[in-house]
Amino acid sequence: MYLDLMCFWQYKLFLNSIQIQNTTTITTASTKTVTNTAHTTTIKNSSGLKLAHAAIDLKESYIGCYRNISSTKTVASVGSVDECSLECTDESNNMIALKSGKECNCIGRLDSAVASSQCNKIDTSNRCGCFQEHGTGNSSFTRLICDTCSSDRSEVCKCYHQGYETKTAIFTTRFQYDFQRGVSTYSHCRNRKNESYEITANCPDGCDPGWRGDSCRERDCSSGGGDCPVEMECIESTVNGNKYVECVCPPGKVRNKWYQCEVFRKNLALHKPPYYSSHLFEHDNSEICSHYKIHLTDGNYDGYRISHLDDAMPAWMAVDLLSLYCVGFIRAYNRISQLPEMLLRMDKFVVRLNETFDVSNREDIRDKVNLCGYGPEKAIQGGNPMIVVCENFTILTRFVFIQPSDEKMNDQSSRSNRSSTALAELEVFEAGCDLFNGRCGMKPCSEEKKEISTVIHCHELPTTEKKKVKPLGDSSPTGQAISDWYATSNPMAALHTTLHQNLKQSCCYYFIIWANTFYVEAFFALKTLKTSRTILSLFLIISTNLSSIAHAAIDLKESYIGCYRNISSTKTVASVGSVNECSLECTDESNNMIALKSGKECNCIGRLDSAVASSQCDVRCANRDACGGRDSYSVYKSKPRKTHDDYASFERHQRDDILKTLPNTYTFEMCAHFCFETNYTFFQKIDTSDRCGCFQEHGTGSSYFTRLICDTCSSDRSEVCKCYHQGYETKTAIFATRFQYDFQRGVSTYSHCRNRNNGSYEITANCPDGCDPGWRGDSCRERDCSSGGGDCPVGMECIESTVNGNKYVECVCPPGKVRNKWYQCEVFRKNLALHKPPYYSSHLFEHDNSEICSHYKIHLTDGNYDGYRISHLDDAMPAWMAVDLLSLYCVGFIRAYNRISQLPEMLLRMDKFVVRLNETFDVSNREDIRDKVNLCGYGPEKAIQGGNPMIVVCENFTILTRFVFIQPSDEKMNDQSSRSNRSSTALAELEVFEAGCDLFNGRCGMKPCSEEKKKISTVIHCHKLPTTEKNKERSLSSSSDTSRTIIFVLVLLLLLALLTCCLLFMLRRLRDDSSKITTGSSVSTSAGTTVSDSS
């Protein structure tokens, strides 16, 4: 029988084949198992020897702590784990479970794991194949024969069904098995080949995040969250003096058979009596199935032991729960379907409910009982459940019915319809307000705890008209007594009911005033004094606990903000049917937006980023609301904002870049949206002049950061008009715009009038000179795509989108890009560092000081950018802070957000900081790492104030990186002369983003860049130039060289020609001179001769 356990310990018994001669006989009283909620411990036995047990090794045999087991024998009191093991000698059990420090159970099945801390009572191919669903085909089920291992006769190595040794036997994993999850069944080696699942002696490349040890089989909570599934936490527990590592669910939840967290619920149908309109003859046939009536609720899920109807009308199988319950959902397990057409028989089966029923009834019951819901359109094979969630959780039910679909019941033409309905097992679970608000829709849901069950109540909504007071007298909206209804629906009920009872003694009126997101309760009492004067006593209580408050339905047109790729979710609900249903799940004041994805996923969000065109949110919810896309979110404003993105308070207000005079209907959120629209990082409300100031950077000076106090507006109590830090009301509080805010950009926060005076940013009723290009309307606040490109920034396009039947105008980026927080287009990238583990060479003592900063190690990657919550080093060497990305990435760039720098010299400390990268790193290393890791790049020459990012783009995109380091500049590390250098490095937040070929061609220069998509990352490759390119380059180079040679030769020839000309000219001159000399000589000689002759 199943036990409902608060928790228990699970051990595996190691047997010894040696007969123990001297034993102590222990007499215990064997009792029937009784369902209770105490603690139990369990042990395993796979031998027929009653006294042949070796003492259990508590360390090796411990499995875990569980809420639910299936016990075949219970012993009321034992004194130890070993003593319990002696009681469990049946071969069908190999585990024992102990509870409440003494109760012993012999078990074969277990479920609903919790933290070990809750069990605090001290006492042939040799390959394994796994698959989610099995196929159809001939199947056989006879007695199971198991052969022991040749290496260890206490263990089993082969199992087969008798008479079918050559066939392939398959086994289920969900029900009988579990083990201590701190040690894995395979090695989690980094870069293991083809995702192999082997056990290796060592892992050369180290372990995957969350694992450690030579063979990488030991779970490690200090890395990657211990590789625990989403929502689970990795913790280390001590049991019997031994340490174990476990993945545990949040308080109030258990880990189910599918390794998911859920609220613990008992299977109400287990071992309860089943009834049938007819039943196929009972038999055991190894080649068909085992058909017995008891199988529907006997706790066996094998798909062979089934319950099978034999009629087409009225065709029902029912379970009598023996008490009244509000049923929330059922899990139905199909039979083994040997033929494909067998699967079709349970398509869209029907689940019905009723409070009473005559089990001898053989009439059509469909219009006489209540509908729960329908099974899947296509039934699935046995082994996995078909889940049906009821449409109404308030129906008190004792009988649960399963019937074939109406189509099959109406078609009586074939034998297959006559014998269509067959199931292996049926599980039934109670409803709760945690499931879809108890199916109450917009109404408040409450749970009334009965003796053995929980009853769901959906209360009528009080008036939702703002400020309307409705007298209710002494009755609630449902007609209950006020005290009864109120006590079940409000956590402040004790205080309020006391007041109510006291006031009832006099003349009393009770009022409830409902607003959109809160309600006010007022008790008025008239008390007559001896002086006969009447005094009015007023008790006013404002409750902001929204978990039990009904919200007015969202106006889809006014609340729609846009479509986004990136959100920061504080709560996720797997499935909702509408936008309004999602809003009911998000009641925390810290969130005023909801984001829906894939037509059903609901997220309560406080931050958003990466806007895309609304056309990318093209998936509808069940009611046809726009509910996101495959990887994008439809974002709606669910209620007025009660919290704001406070940055710090300063002694005086900051110098404004632009100012806006606030209207009478001013709210704090209007100022935030105005500054965000005008693309400024900060805003402040100047109380003395009712103006909103926007600025890009804040100055230095004393700053303070305590709890934020926000006062509501006198004109509208659902809105906030003033915020300040507690204890610093007279200081100027500034707020950041980039992270928590956005709005539908089709309507502006100010009038875009042509020729507006001095560029003023006011809202006017009309614009006499018309509107600026891109705007229209009387007040010129509606974006107009037909004029001036809708005044969209460069690179964006103005488009008109239709969402939920309403038209919106948007400025959208080109395909493949998103609009970031700075109203720029970029390729979408996730912040790889968000919530990843940070490490430090040292850290300044952790503290929270409103006049300095909050120093905690987690702040480096916690997603807070306020500049007050920082991570701060405390050494000058080796002086590093690092983030472990938990996987290998090619890092492209980082964004570092500085602290609030109260003094100018504080800003100098982060001048030219250094970013480094590496694939591996020993976080206990305290040596100088600068020459041991890779350089990414340097921060700006002059660091900037917090709130705006300092961006560093890496010099090499091809480096595979797991660790990203931030260090002060080399100059500051080498200068250890002052305390300021010793504590120089401090950051508020670090963002890390992947590289891509879209950024500077992947830093490949002239080489081609390519991106190789891995499982979770992108690797950048810079390729050598192809041969044709090389030849072309060589050809171009050769042509260039040839040209230069020709020019050189021509110039040389020209010079030679000139030189030749000069030489020729000089030779001619010489020749001419020689000729003249010769001629002169001849003349002289002639003259002499003549004279002589004359003589």
Give the tens place of pLDDT for each residue, 127-145: 677 777 777 677 777 778 8
Give the tens place of pLDDT for each residue, 223-271: 888 999 888 999 998 888 888 899 999 888 898 888 888 889 999 999 9
- Say which residue, 136 or 754, is predicted with more confidence: 754
**Residue pair 844/980 in contact by the 8 Å Cβ criterion:** no
- Span 620-645, average pLDDT: 92
As to burial, measured by CB atoms within 10 angstroms (0-12 exposed, 13-18 middle, 19+ buried), residue 598 is middle
pLDDT at 330 over 60: yes
Report the Cα 241 to chain-centroid distance in Å: 35
The pair phi, psi for residue 814, each rounded to 5°, is -60, 160
Mean pLDDT, the chain, integer: 78
> In the prediction, which pLDDT does 470 show?
36
- Span 187-197, average pLDDT: 79
Q: What's the CA dihedral at 1088, 1091, 1092, 1095 to 10 degrees?
A: -170
- Span 82-91, average pLDDT: 82
| Tokens matching residue 865 | 């950018």
- Span 698-721, average pLDDT: 85
Q: Say how far apart CA 965 and CA 1066 lie, in whole Å.
A: 77
pLDDT at 25 over 50: no
> In the prediction, which pLDDT does 654 show?
81
Q: How many CA atoms lie within 13 A of 650 on its CB side?
A: 19
- Span 764-775, average pLDDT: 91
Q: Say how far apart CA 343 and CA 384 lie, in whole Å.
A: 13
Provide DSSP, 810-837: EEEPPTTEEE-TTS-EEE----TTTTPP
pLDDT at 529 over 50: no
> In the prediction, which pLDDT does 1067 show?
83
Q: Tokens 């990795």, residue?
A: 234
pLDDT at 662 over 80: no
**Residue pair 459/477 in contact by the 8 Å Cβ criterion:** yes
- Span 168-181, average pLDDT: 78
Give the tens place of pLDDT for each residue, 986-1037: 999 999 999 999 998 899 888 899 999 988 889 999 988 765 544 554 555 5
Using CA atoms, how far residue 678 sits from 134, 608, 656, 673, in Å, is: 59, 18, 13, 9
pLDDT at 980 over 80: no
Residue 972's contacts (CB-CB under 8 Å, 6 or more residues apart) are 876, 909, 981, 984
Pairing mode, if any, of strands 560-573 and 775-776?
A: unpaired
pLDDT at 792 over 60: yes
637: left (phi over 0), alpha (psi -120 to 50) or beta: beta
Which element (helix H / strand E) includes 341?
helix 340-344
Pairing mode, if any, of strands 519-528 and 534-543?
A: antiparallel
Confidence of residue 635 (pLDDT cuts 50, 70, 90): very high
pLDDT at 979 over 90: no
pLDDT at 799 over 70: yes
Nearest residue to 588 (alpha-carbon basis) of 641, 627, 512, 515:
641
- Span 315-331, average pLDDT: 93
Give the tens place of pLDDT for each residue, 1069-1082: 887 777 666 555 54
Q: Say how far apart CA 268 and CA 265 lie, in whole Å.
A: 9
> In the prediction, which pLDDT does 1079 show?
55
Nearest residue to 90 (alpha-carbon basis) of 73, 74, 102:
73
Confidence of residue 288 (pLDDT cuts 50, 70, 90): low
- Span 425-447, average pLDDT: 88
- Per-position b or e across 314-337, b if 16+ CB within 10 A of its CB: bbbbbbbbeeebbbbbbbbbbbbb
Nearest residue to 637 (alpha-carbon basis) of 556, 578, 564, 720:
556
Using CA atoms, how far residue 530 sits from 509, 533, 965, in Å, is: 22, 8, 79
Give the tens place of pLDDT for each residue, 540-599: 232 333 333 344 578 888 999 999 999 989 899 999 999 999 999 998 877 889 999 999
Pairing mode, if any, of strands 305-308 and 290-291?
A: parallel
Q: Tokens 């020749």, residue?
A: 1071
pLDDT at 319 over 90: yes
pLDDT at 326 over 90: yes
Model-level pTM greater than 0.85? no
Give the tens place of pLDDT for each residue, 449-496: 888 889 998 887 654 333 333 333 333 333 333 334 333 334 334 433
- Say which residue, 720 or 45, is predicted with more confidence: 720
- Span 858-880, average pLDDT: 88
- Say which residue, 287 or 1068, is predicted with more confidence: 1068
Angle between helices 493-504 and 482-489 (to 10 degrees): 170
Residue 1028's contacts (CB-CB under 8 Å, 6 or more residues apart) are none
946: left (phi over 0), alpha (psi -120 to 50) or beta: beta
Q: Say how far apart CA 46 and CA 75 lie, in whole Å.
A: 18
Other CB atoms within 10 Å distance of the CB of residue 4: 18
Weakest mean pLDDT among 131-140, 331-340, 749-758, 964-973: 131-140
**Residue pair 35/74 in contact by the 8 Å Cβ criterion:** no
